[in-house]
Structure 1
């Protein structure tokens, strides 16, 4: 039966391109136009004959037997000329002929040739393996023979040494012969004449008088060797070079002796130590240390970590002495590295001014007027929720400003701002007076020993009363200059710009009094003001330089993070090459998001920065583990509080300062009836791991100015996790406070009703920036408020100015429909942004 297939399939079997196979067929006189045509067996045979002829082959040549020659080594008997026989290596050569099997028609097909070649290769491989095994066996036998000979030689040497020692011992113990002369009168052997020596008078072959001792020693050595060769070897090695008395008592001296008193060890203990490491230092089993800890009321396992005090207590309980571990770490190397850096002379630097005050007293508006930009439009609800850092050029010189939040939840951020600053400008509204956050700002400034300048704002209002502010601040021990104090009071209006120059002059005057100076040359050092995680740029840290000059390409260690400065940007987003003292900049290139308030320092070696960061991280982790509740009393107390409910929360925010503020504010709401437990927190959008953590711990996710990505939303919807978005910290605290206090009321919940994705942006002289969008989820309604999201982070919140389909204004656009959206008072919409349409719903709260 004829076997046919296509040219393409034949080319695939022959591992060549169809085009090359077509060329070979055409050269063989067979015309084919396409690789899809069918080729018969006869045409295949014709092609094979053509290829053989083209390569100089013939059928006779193909079928010629192949001769293989191999040499086999052997040892034979050869007769010599004298008639003797002897062994000599003889090599026998074997010649084999292999006939190629002929197929039908006297030829072999391609498949037969391939199978025959594979068979021959397999036979050759087996022969090689057999030869290799034979060679390995010969090598093994030769090695064993060499080792046996070495052992016998070592045993013979040991026996001879033992015999010599035994002879010396017997000679030393034998009594002196009565007729023997005294040792002092006997001359040395070398001094005696040859005729007087015993060897000269003794005939050849006769034994010496002391040969019997040698013979007896040899007999004893043979008996010991027959009783145990290994023992004899060990004894001979142990007694080599010793006196006979030492060889007899060596075993007794090296034997184990039970201590007569307990061994007291000095154990070096650091800030934390694991139970397993402590047991190793005490030369005890881990279970014994765990039992001792349980007797002290500490429930731990071998792998857990305990603090320094607990480790010292259990060490002394077990009868040992605890000492402080050596504190020499890479931190010392870092300090030495910093001290060795080249530092120049101190030069005048700009003052760092922190704007502080109560909510809505005009802090950001004042700074906005100074900078001539709209800072207030970028903050949700008109309040500052981050620490903003700026430096401005004024007629009085360069001044760096820090704008701190005024809400009660941001107390730590205000304290941090007071610690970083040279001068505090306390803004107080003339129509509102002194408020709780105003008093708190005064306390922060006093604790940091920073001079105060009081800016009485909103003097343009009809009900402004500056004397009320001055009198209320007297109760806080802030006395104006007109009352005989040392605090400057300036009456201003941030909205109208009244008396702003006088405030700047007051700042410059205070800075001259302080005589602020810093070293500009050398390695930079400073502090982190704020940090966040940007999806496109990675970890971003806003830092304030204290000393030196921070440059691009510098290696720095920042808390538990390290890295190389990839980029430096100012508050306007412009790239800069360096930052001098008192200048805030954003740093890109760190290994992670540092904590706000962490110090940073520039080093010349990346390895040192990495080692310091890793050691700090390990210490922080160990301290956190050691602080976990392991005491039996705490465990029993938790078991007894079964009536107390627990509200688990996962908090994600856009910056580190907001995370800290939310954690502290929410956990402070805990009562005897309910405990607020923040099981997880972090900076950046809500990820899949956050959703999984919330699902397993039955926690509510709070997204503060961040959103969940697609994978996180799938887990949230599948497991029914409670997810709530917020943009104002008031709403977060108020809602959690209502639940925690057990009050019933109306819950205001934000529900997303539609999401539109920006595909392109068009500029119009009439409407400004118009975003060409596709509604990807839900429905976008023109009457509902919206937010603009970039990388799952809120960048603007407002309302729609227009919603169009083609040229007509419409009230709503549903999913899968294109539309044009104009965002009111915002012209920075970019392709890839998402416009989120939401509505606020009032829901009756139930327990």
Structure 2
């Protein structure tokens, strides 16, 4: 044991320091204060004293003696044999002693147990005391910490309150200042208006006075002339007069009453009246301009707009020229432009409601629908996302099919519509392609959907087509569910996907947003049930309903021209039930349904709300995105389709005319652009749209790529002849040319290309256009030499002593002389020397002598720039 203080020993023994001081004093151990040190000898002395005071024997402090116990001993026993022969035999005997250990007596054991219990009790008391002190200390620290936190929060609140009050005060002061400035400006404006009004009133009064004086003079003059004329008539003989005696004084020669102006009337106070004998005229003009309300249709020509406004066409053209538009009298204007022109001329414009026959048929069909009989319908779910993020694979797992195996290049290039019967109910899925060229198809998918599933690969994150899918979903105003696919991969990072989508305002629910994020794997099936649950939950919240027992209506999802079946359209029923044999109207096309087929190729009799189906029997290929409607009368359907066709043709012609005029105006004073004409034929309408949009976007300032014709179906002889007449390149996407077309193409040496993957077609056209552009010459600087000094020689002329600072200077390349970074001479080298030797080139960091041909004004500090001209192929930017 080490030396301790009196206080520490008292804490160990569990007694007070004062009691321990008394015991130390009684034992003869000097101790004056609690901080005095107690040695080990003093502790032993104190212990003996305490034992003696309790009646116990003093234990010897001398070291114990070593006790050796002999536990065994050996003896020899002599034994005589009894056989008559005196023999003795020694027997060794080993005697082991049993060790008996006796413990302490019962009284000693009782004393030891008593001391142990006292020591244990003292130890327990000490532990309890220490625990209480520790608890008190902890509670004090907690109170202090809470007090500090409360004070800090209070200080922060006071600071925030002060900041808010300061900001409010600053805002109030700023508002007061703005109000003062506004009042000052208002006062200045009022003063200016009062001054202008006073000047206007004075000028108006002066003008009125002059006008009244002039009118009075004219009236007096007319009265005097009339009086003189009457005197002359009275002075004429009878029979030579003009017969006025039989007329009333206030009537004209035809019996009508005259109009008069009363003398002294102001111009603004004149009133039209009939005089009864007075010789004064009266007339009236409009006091304010007439404001007309004009109904503007979708397209109207400049001349028709002028007629509606009762003004000259030149006035309308003048307004359009001030707006930056060069137009002719017969040029059509769109509705928005025409409304701006009408408002600019001071009239009111409103959109004309033109009701077509198709609209009338649609209204009649809607009147028959009883909304009270609406039933819950399956949700229509559109799957969007970037290419190769697993959209179709996800549907494959749900449908237990392999659609991607049938797609060229492993990517979806058509819109696929399917309905799936799950444990959660029937769900209709629309799979959209993810390539950049299919923007129009993705937008069409968003227009017909109730819920959008945005598929994002966990190992790839947000990509360009992912952003387009978000924009389409927001534009359509439909709820979105994010399916984070490929979570089974090692490089999957779901948190990064959430962060990237949150940057595009798609916030997960666990981050405080309203978008459900489901982690799935199209390969293993992980999370598929959760995804279906999320779709069903969202559909229940939306309460999707439709009337089943009514005429069907919906939208065309995709269309194509099948060689054996004719025009084929994939439609999605939105309301009612579509049946085999119904007469449907779809934009420019109509017809009776010959066959109704589901997505698996099986023929069905009907398709209810939210169910996709393939329709056969239309008169032509409808445009994807058009609405279809079941009509009862074939004649009405034909008339509505013909009207729609004529309207589209008229609109198309007007756009072409406007485009020609705009091109003419834009090309004035410019060089003609290189035109590349394309003729596109594809298998489905969606591919036609995607190809047209992507190919025409290749155009730039030098090349104009134009699709002169695009359609669905194989390449015919008519298409080949049109391409020959227009010098167009023929592009076939998943279609082929027939025999007659192939022969004509071969004879005419036309350019024909077949493709099955859209981006290969786009890349091929880009390469072809790049080859047509030709080459251009570019200059590339290869070296710069700094002129350090100039030497003049009678033999070599002016020689510039130079140090090549960049690149290499070659003798046979053209050069430029620069002074203060300005070109002052362009020519070629006359000589290039290193020491006394002529060299062909000098590299960076080497000194040389340069002679510039036909230029002697080289000065120290100039730079000699060496360059070369190279020919490169022009490319599309």
Equivalents in 2 of 1:540, 1:525: separation in Å?
Answer: 17
Equivalents in 2 of 1:592, 1:427: separation in Å?
Answer: 35
Residues 719 and 640 (structure 1 numbering): CA distance in 2 closer, same or farther, change over 3 Å?
Answer: farther
Say if 2:645 is the partner of 1:621: no
Whether the aligned pair in 1 keeps the contact of 2:301 and 2:329 (CA below 8 Å) is: no
Equivalents in 1 of 2:484, 2:376: separation in Å?
Answer: 29
Corresponding residue for 2:381?
353
Equivalents in 2 of 1:337, 1:612: separation in Å?
Answer: 14
- Name the SS of the counterpart of 2:625 in structure 1: coil
1:666 is matched with which residue: 679, 695, 702? 695
CA offsets, 1:16-50, max 9 Å, x none? xxxxxxxxxxxxxxxxxxxxxxxxxxxxxxxxxxx
CA offsets, 1:505-559, max 9 Å, x none? 1211111111111111111111111111112111111111111111111112111
Say if 2:360 is the partner of 1:330: no
Whether the aligned pair in 1 keeps the contact of 2:770 and 2:874 (CA below 8 Å) is: no
Corresponding residue for 1:407?
435
Say if 2:627 is the partner of 1:599: yes
Tell me which of the two structures has the higher relative contact order, counting C-alpha pairs closer than 8 angstroms and 6 or more residues apart: 1
Whether the aligned pair in 2 keeps the contact of 1:556 and 1:565 (CA below 8 Å) is: yes
Equivalents in 2 of 1:504, 1:546: separation in Å?
Answer: 21
CA offsets, 1:303-334, max 9 Å, x none? x9776799999999xxxx99998835424532
CA RMSD of superposed structures (Å): 4.0
Say if 2:472 is the partner of 1:447: no
CA offsets, 1:129-154, max 9 Å, x none? xxxxxxxxxxxxxxxxxxxxxxxxxx
Aligned-pair CA distance for 1:501: 1.6
CA offsets, 1:752-777, max 9 Å, x none? xxxxxxxxxxxxxxxxxxxxxxxxxx
Corresponding residue for 1:341?
368
Residues 323 and 845 (structure 1 numbering): CA distance in 2 closer, same or farther, change over 3 Å?
Answer: closer
Aligned-pair CA distance for 1:467: 1.7
1:551 is matched with which residue: 579, 586, 597? 579
Whether the aligned pair in 2 keeps the contact of 1:385 and 1:405 (CA below 8 Å) is: yes
Corresponding residue for 1:158?
none
2:464 is matched with which residue: 413, 436, 456? 436
- Name the SS of the counterpart of 1:370 in structure 2: helix
Residues 289 and 449 (structure 1 numbering): CA distance in 2 closer, same or farther, change over 3 Å?
Answer: closer
Corresponding residue for 2:719?
690
Whether the aligned pair in 2 keeps the contact of 1:669 and 1:740 (CA below 8 Å) is: no
For residues 351-390 of structure 1, what are the structure 2 equivalents within 5 Å? 351-390=379-418
For residues 578-593 of structure 1, what are the structure 2 equivalents within 5 Å? 578-593=606-621
1:500 is matched with which residue: 518, 528, 536? 528
For residues 77-88 of structure 1, what are the structure 2 equivalents within 5 Å? none
Equivalents in 2 of 1:454, 1:624: separation in Å?
Answer: 40
Corresponding residue for 2:36?
none
Corresponding residue for 2:743?
714
Aligned-pair CA distance for 1:459: 2.0
1:645 is matched with which residue: 663, 667, 674? 674
Whether the aligned pair in 2 keeps the contact of 1:305 and 1:622 (CA below 8 Å) is: no
- Name the SS of the counterpart of 1:708 in structure 2: coil
For residues 472-487 of structure 1, what are the structure 2 equivalents within 5 Å? 472-487=500-515
For residues 186-265 of structure 1, what are the structure 2 equivalents within 5 Å? none
Residues 579 and 540 (structure 1 numbering): CA distance in 2 closer, same or farther, change over 3 Å?
Answer: same
Residues 846 and 708 (structure 1 numbering): CA distance in 2 closer, same or farther, change over 3 Å?
Answer: farther
Count, aligned residues: 483
Whether the aligned pair in 2 keeps the contact of 1:307 and 1:626 (CA below 8 Å) is: no
- Name the SS of the counterpart of 2:753 in structure 1: strand
- Name the SS of the counterpart of 1:628 in structure 2: helix
Aligned-pair CA distance for 1:300: 7.8
Whether the aligned pair in 1 keeps the contact of 2:379 and 2:427 (CA below 8 Å) is: yes
Say if 2:781 is the partner of 1:728: no
Aligned-pair CA distance for 1:647: 1.1
Aligned-pair CA distance for 1:299: 8.3
Residues 606 and 482 (structure 1 numbering): CA distance in 2 closer, same or farther, change over 3 Å?
Answer: same
Residues 643 and 524 (structure 1 numbering): CA distance in 2 closer, same or farther, change over 3 Å?
Answer: same
Residues 603 and 694 (structure 1 numbering): CA distance in 2 closer, same or farther, change over 3 Å?
Answer: same
Structure 2: give runs of 5+ residues left out of the alignment.
1-253, 255-291, 775-871
Residues 279 and 478 (structure 1 numbering): CA distance in 2 closer, same or farther, change over 3 Å?
Answer: closer
2:445 is matched with which residue: 384, 409, 417? 417
Whether the aligned pair in 1 keeps the contact of 2:302 and 2:317 (CA below 8 Å) is: no
Corresponding residue for 2:421?
393
Residues 688 and 311 (structure 1 numbering): CA distance in 2 closer, same or farther, change over 3 Å?
Answer: farther
Aligned-pair CA distance for 1:486: 2.1
- Name the SS of the counterpart of 1:392 in structure 2: strand
CA offsets, 1:674-707, max 9 Å, x none? 1111111001111111111111111111111111
Aligned-pair CA distance for 1:413: 1.1
- Name the SS of the counterpart of 1:415 in structure 2: helix
Say if 2:564 is the partner of 1:536: yes
Where in structure 1 do 4 or more consecutive aligned residues deviate above 4 Å?
265-283, 292-302, 304-316, 321-326, 630-633, 739-745, 844-847
Corresponding residue for 1:150?
none
Say if 2:680 is the partner of 1:680: no
Structure 1: give runs of 5+ residues left out of the alignment.
1-248, 250-264, 746-843
Equivalents in 2 of 1:380, 1:396: separation in Å?
Answer: 33
Whether the aligned pair in 2 keeps the contact of 1:528 and 1:598 (CA below 8 Å) is: yes
Whether the aligned pair in 2 keeps the contact of 1:738 and 1:744 (CA below 8 Å) is: no
CA offsets, 1:374-408, max 9 Å, x none? 11111100000111000011111111000000011
Per mean C-alpha deviation after superposition, the further-off stretch among 324-333 and 447-456 is 324-333
Aligned-pair CA distance for 1:431: 1.2
